[in-house]
Amino acid sequence: MDAHRRLKEDEADKALRELFVAAGRVEAPSSIDVRILQRIALAPKPITPEPELLPKWVWIAAAIAFCGLAAFLFATSPAATGPSYTDKLLQSVPEFSLERVFTSPWLMMTVLTIGVLMALDVFLARGRARFSLL
Amino acid sequence: MNEAQAIALATSGDHGAYAWLVGKYKHMVHTACYRILRHREEAEEATQDSFVKAYQNLGSYQGGSKFSTWLFSIAYRTAISQLRKRRDGISTIDELSTGQEPSEAASATVEINDRTVALNKALGRLPAEDAAIVSFFYLEEMSVEEIVTVTGLGASNVKVKLHRSRKRLLEILQDELKEEAWTLIAD
């Protein structure tokens, strides 16, 4: 029964394929090439996506590892009464005054340099986009 | 020029290379759009849109699948989106079902035209999506996997649609052509 059905399906497929091939494709108008190319001429050049710096799975693995480490540090403590790893970690960070940080000329220079570099990057990116359109 | 060279040149902005690709695939893309939209002007517009979209996204074509499959997926989505805008899923009277009657042609040509008209009528009675899928399968000889890539439907869904459409096509062709061979296959 199944073999008979399969045979019928194969026959049907063959007959339909022959019919489709005999009927052929619906021809596009001959002028369509010109119209497509006219539109292409106005369109920007194809954009090639930049290759990824790191594969996605590396980012995911790094995020999981980081979260795991953070969870471990926050959750565990060497002894029930003793300070946790987090406390120890914070204790090892030297104390500093926020006022001294914000009035530091080094910080000002750093912020200023970042600003200048970012402005330069935006300017160069715009120039490159304009050049690629030509 | 071969296809890989044309794609590489077109990606770098060579319009001549893209014209070569348009020339190669325009009828295939137009047929797919026409099977879905069933309207010459709209199919032509969808064909143009598909080629423009494909050009703009050439950089994202990685060569993982055949270029024709990638192009068909753009054409399919473009035509389906145009169809949804029109909100006319299954048209009863359209260009496909009217066909062109042969006048004083030779009997062989008349027979081929009769069959073509019957096929077009049968396709016109299928839902637009299904008509495109059977056309991909029988005319473009795409595998189920390729149709899945083009349409974004699941493999089992494509198989069910193909099975139903084949059955429906055979029933309609049996009525239209009244030929013994079709009766035997359709029964």
Domain residue ranges of chain B, discontinuous segments joined by +:
3-186
pLDDT value at residue B105: 42
Asked whether residue A17 carries a pLDDT value surpassing 70, the answer given is yes
Contacts with A, B 58-117, CB within 8 Å: 58-60, 112, 115-116
| Local confidence band at B92 (pLDDT 50, 70, 90 cut-offs) | very low
For B30-39, what is the mean pLDDT? 92
DSSP notation for A8-34: HHHHHHHHHHHHHHHH---PPPTTHHH
pLDDT value at residue A128: 62
Question: What pTM did the predictor assign?
Answer: 0.66
Q: Which residue of A has its CA nearest to B173?
A: A16
ipTM: 0.77
A9, B138: Cβ pair inside 8 Å? no
Asked whether residue A130 carries a pLDDT value surpassing 60, the answer given is no
| Local confidence band at B181 (pLDDT 50, 70, 90 cut-offs) | low
Chain B CB contacts of A35 below 8 Å: 48
Q: How far apart are alpha carbons A96 and B91 in whole angstroms?
A: 76
pLDDT value at residue A68: 86
- B16 CB within 8 Å of a chain A CB: no
SS (H, E, C) B4-59: HHHHHHHHCCCHHHHHHHHHHHHHHHHHHHHHHHCCHHHHHHHHHHHHHHHHHCHH
Q: What is the mean pLDDT of chain B?
A: 83
B138, A17: Cβ pair inside 8 Å? yes
Distances (CA, A) of A65 to A59, A87, B181: 10, 21, 67
pLDDT tens digit string along A45-76?
887 777 677 778 888 999 999 888 878 777 76
Nearest to A52 by CA among A64, A60, A40, A41: A60
For B40-62, what is the mean pLDDT? 92
Lowest mean pLDDT among A61-75, B15-29, B142-156: A61-75
Domain regions of chain A by residue span: 97-134
| Local confidence band at B152 (pLDDT 50, 70, 90 cut-offs) | very high
DSSP notation for B59-82: GG--SSS-HHHHHHHHHHHHHHHH
pLDDT value at residue B101: 39
Distances (CA, A) of B119 to A62, B40, B63, B91, B124: 57, 17, 34, 16, 8
Q: How far apart are alpha carbons A86 and A10 in whole angstroms?
A: 71
pLDDT tens digit string along A77-100?
665 566 666 677 777 777 767 777
Lowest mean pLDDT among A11-15, B52-56, B69-73: A11-15
Q: How far apart are alpha carbons A22 and B112 in whole angstroms?
A: 7
Q: Which residue of B has its CA nearest to A45?
A: B13
Rg of chain A in Å (alpha carbons): 33
Fold of B3-186: Rna Polymerase Sigma Factor; Chain: A (1.10.1740)
Q: How far apart are alpha carbons B109 and B176 in whole angstroms?
A: 17
A41, B15: Cβ pair inside 8 Å? yes
